Structure 1
Amino acid sequence: MFLKIGLAIISTLILSCGTTEKQTQTTSTEETTSAGEVIDPQKLMAEGYMLGTVVYSDKEGDCPYTIQMPGDKMEFYYLDPINLDESFKKDGQKVWIKFSGLRRMNRCDKATPAEIIDIKKGG
C-alpha cells in the first residue's frame, strides 16, 4: 500500500518537474483598413471608440441600417444611428464608433436611437 502511494507521489513529482519552454509569440494588435490605414484597436478603445458591425435589414418594423454592438449581459445589442453616412451603409462593414444615446422614440423595434459622434472603418 505504501509502495503504491510512494510511487504515485514520486511519478507526480518527476512529471511536474519537466522543463517548460516559454514560447514567444508576436501578435500584432494593429489592423489595417482596405484603404491601407493602420488602426490600433487598443488606442481607439482608450479614446472611447467601440467596434460594431453595420447590419442591413429590409424586414417590416426594422430600421434599414443598424449597428450591432457587443453587449455585457446580452450577446449583442443594436443601435439605430440617426446620422449614418452613406459611405458606411454596407452590410457587414466593421466600424469603430463613438456615439451618444438619444432619448427619443424608437424608429424601429430592435434598435436604440443613437447619434454618431465619430466613425472610422474597421479592419
Structure 2
Amino acid sequence: MIIRTLILTLCISITACCTSKKSTTDANMDSTEKSEIMMTDAKMMEAGFKQGVIVASNIEGDCPFTIKIDGDQPYFLDPINLDDMYKKDGMKIWFTFNGLRMMNRCEKANPVNVNEIQVRK
C-alpha cells in the first residue's frame, strides 16, 4: 500500500515538473516574439512606413476599402491602387504612400497612391 502511494506521488511530481517547464518555455517564446515584433516595428517606422488597418465598407457612397491610421486623431486614407491581395477587412499592414491632388471619392478618406505595402504581424 505504501509503495502504491509513493509511486502515485512520484508520478504526480514528475507530471507537475514537466508542465511548469513547458509553460516557462512558452512564456519565453512569447516574450521573444514580442521583442522581435517591436524591433520590426521600429525598423519599419524608421524606414518611413505607416501602420494601418484595411477597412471594408458596403455603404452606398462610401469608399469600398480604406486604410485606417490610428493615433491621437484616427483618420482614413482612400488607396486608389490597392491590390486585390490586400482587400481584406481588418488586415493589418505597413505601407508608404503619396497624397493625391484629386477630388475625394468618399467623404471620410483622402485619396492616396500606395507606394509600398506589406502585411503586418
TM above 0.5, one fold? yes
TM-score, length basis structure 1 = 0.68
1:29, 1:41 within 8 Å by CA — same for their partners in 2? Answer: no
What's the offset of the Cα at 1:55?
0.2
Partner residue of 1:85? Answer: 83
RMSD: 1.5
Partner residue of 1:41? Answer: 41
- Specify every segment of 5 or more residues in structure 1 that has no aligned partner in the other structure, as ranges: 1-25, 32-38
CA 1:106–1:64: 2 relative to 1, 3 Å: same
- Specify every segment of 5 or more residues in structure 2 that has no aligned partner in the other structure, as ranges: 1-30
1:67, 1:78 within 8 Å by CA — same for their partners in 2? Answer: yes
Partner residue of 1:97? Answer: 95
Partner residue of 2:68? Answer: 68
> What is the SS of the residue equivalent to 1:44?
helix
Larger strand percent: 1
Instruction: Tell me, in whole angstroms, the C-alpha distance in 1 between the residues paired with 2:83 and 2:60.
Output: 22
Identity score, percent: 48
TM-score, length basis structure 2 = 0.69
Q: Number of residues paired by the alignment?
A: 89
